[in-house]
Amino acid sequence: MGRVKGSKMFQDAEEQERKFQESLDQYTDDFFGDDTSENLEVDNNNVERVLYRHSKIEKDLSEMEERKESSENFYNDEIDKIKKQLKYQSQCLKSFLQASKKKTMKFPNGTISIRKSTKHQYNGDDEVLLDWCKKQERVLTTTMTKPSKSLIIKYIKETGFAPNDWEIEEKESFNVKTKGE
Divide the 181 residues of the chain into consecutive groups of 10 and give the mean pLDDT of each group: 53 72 63 56 74 82 88 91 94 92 91 90 88 81 78 90 87 77 52
The number of beta carbons lying within 10 Å of the beta carbon of residue 105 is 14
| Chain center to CA of 162 | 40
| Chain center to CA of 155 | 43
Sheet-wide strand order for 166-178 = 104-107, 110-122, 166-178
Helix (H, G, I), strand (E, B) or coil at 178: strand
Q: What is the pLDDT of residue 5?
A: 52
Q: Alpha helices of 33-111 — where are they, by DSSP H?
A: 47-100
